[in-house]
Amino acid sequence: MKRHKLTINVMVALAFMWLLIASLHVQAGTKVEGIRIWPAPDHTRLVLDTEGKVEHNMFALSNPSRLVIDLKNTRLRTDFDKLDLAGSPIRRIRSAPRNGTDLRVVLDLASDIKPRSFQLEPNQQYGHRLVLDLIDESGSRLEKATQPTVTHDSAGKRDVIVVIDAGHGGEDPGAIGPRGTREKDVVLKMAHILKDMIDKQPGYTAKLTRTGDYYIGLRNRTILARKYSADLFVSVHADAFRTPQPKGASVFALSQRGATSETARWLAQSENRSDLIGGTGGVSLDGRDDMLAGVLLDLSMTASINASLGVGSSILGELNGVAHLHKPGVEQAAFAVLKSPDIPSILVEAGFISNPQEEKNLSTDWYRKKLAGAIVKGINQYFQKTPPPGTLLAWQKQNGQGSGRISKYRVRSGDTLSGVARDNQTTVSELMQFNGLRDDRVMVGQTIRIPSS
């Protein structure tokens, strides 16, 4: 009997200790250990670094505009005042304990916004995170849709529009190399180089999906391409693998399997049916029955994939001269960012950032310029052969002015003759001879004639 009572007492004591430990754990709560902000043109992302998962409630208030976030069983272990709020709709961040164990965070806003929140699991760079997206539904900070750029050429024809997409961004660093190089930084720098090079090509205009360190949803990237009436969408990435051996650049187009599933998605969503295939002047799905709409989409998607394979092959051929290739041909996969039924779209993997040598190369400006120059040359080769209707390139081809024609370039601040030669796939000596120059010095505003191959 005594042994039985002793056993019961021990069990009661253990249960009490377990409850006490559990109570202390609840009282200890989760800590907010850090905060980061990523302002983008159409939204601002605020990220709270937390010790673990956190239960929260969020609601918006007006007059004045505020967003209130209540975090249950949470304590603050960081300083919100040190956060730079420039470029965001947040004017001030306030916080205070609530109900003894909870934490209330209040965002004082410049205007009403649409809030969205979700939690992220730990990754290679960060721990647990609570993500708050402040969405600008009015689009007041988003660049408005632009008309196709018309060249200054006397023909008055539009430019070929190339949309350059730098992968990842903001809270999403992409792959991280052995030395800590982040994919999002490498590809953004390369995207800017590509834009500069393309803009210098007569008959071309480049647009960027993101211009800074912020994240854009994959679907929104293709929406931006459509907004810009893109003739080509190029998404730039830097590959990674679990071992350091793989290396080389790659080019991807959408797979047929991905195209099939995307056709079904477009047919299933009513907002897609009202979009134009091919942008302005294209074929509308609105009012079409499912069978006819499906045929139109399949034809458009097939044409886009074929064009993507064509421009991808041209780019891969040029990359072969400046970098090691991971695969000899254009690969196909169901990347979400490539699933636009009316815009030729490719994904360029500039190299394996997980390979120590390629990480080192991709971290340098000279190597990024080498890759960008090859990509631009490949794009130009493709569009010289198959220019989009209504463009200056199409007009020049129709009038026999494509091959052997002379283009002109006006020197801008920071330009050098060697840089102009490199961007136009020629040499300094050829430019000097063609323009009657005695040396390689150029002046801002000077017009350089460039012979095209």
pTM for the predicted model, two decimal places: 0.72
Q: What share of the chain in percent tops pLDDT 70? A: 77
Q: pLDDT tens digits for 364-417?
A: 999 999 999 999 999 999 999 889 988 988 888 777 665 445 567 788 888 888
- Structure confidence at residue 383 (pLDDT): 93
The residue behind tokens 């998605």 is: 265
Exposed/middle/buried for 63, CB within 10 Å: 0-12, 13-18, 19+?
A: exposed
- Structure confidence at residue 335 (pLDDT): 83
Taking the C-alpha atoms of residue 17 and residue 40, their distance in angstroms, rounded to an integer, is 50
Q: 29-135: which CATH number, 2.60.40.3500, 1.10.1040.10, 3.10.105.10, 3.40.50.720?
A: 2.60.40.3500
What is each CA distance from 433 to 11, 353, 406, 449, in whole angstroms? 97, 41, 14, 11
Q: pLDDT tens digits for 300-328?
A: 677 888 889 999 999 999 999 899 999 88
Among candidate residues 314, 24, 348, 50, the one with its CA nearest the CA of residue 194: 348
Q: What residues pair up with 36 in beta bridges, in sequence order?
A: 47
The mean pLDDT of the chain is 81
Task: Name the CATH topology of 160-398.
Answer: Aminopeptidase (3.40.630)
Higher-confidence residue of 34 and 302: namely 34
- Are 29-135 and 406-451 in the same CATH fold? no
Residue 402 DSSP symbol? S
pLDDT at position 27 over 80: no
Taking the C-alpha atoms of residue 260 and residue 334, their distance in angstroms, rounded to an integer, is 10
Q: How many helices (H) and strands (E) does the chain have?
A: 11, 19
DSSP3 helix / strand / coil % (the chain, rounded to 5): 35, 25, 40
The CATH class of the 406-451 domain is alpha beta
Residue-range domain boundaries for the chain: 29-135, 160-398, 406-451
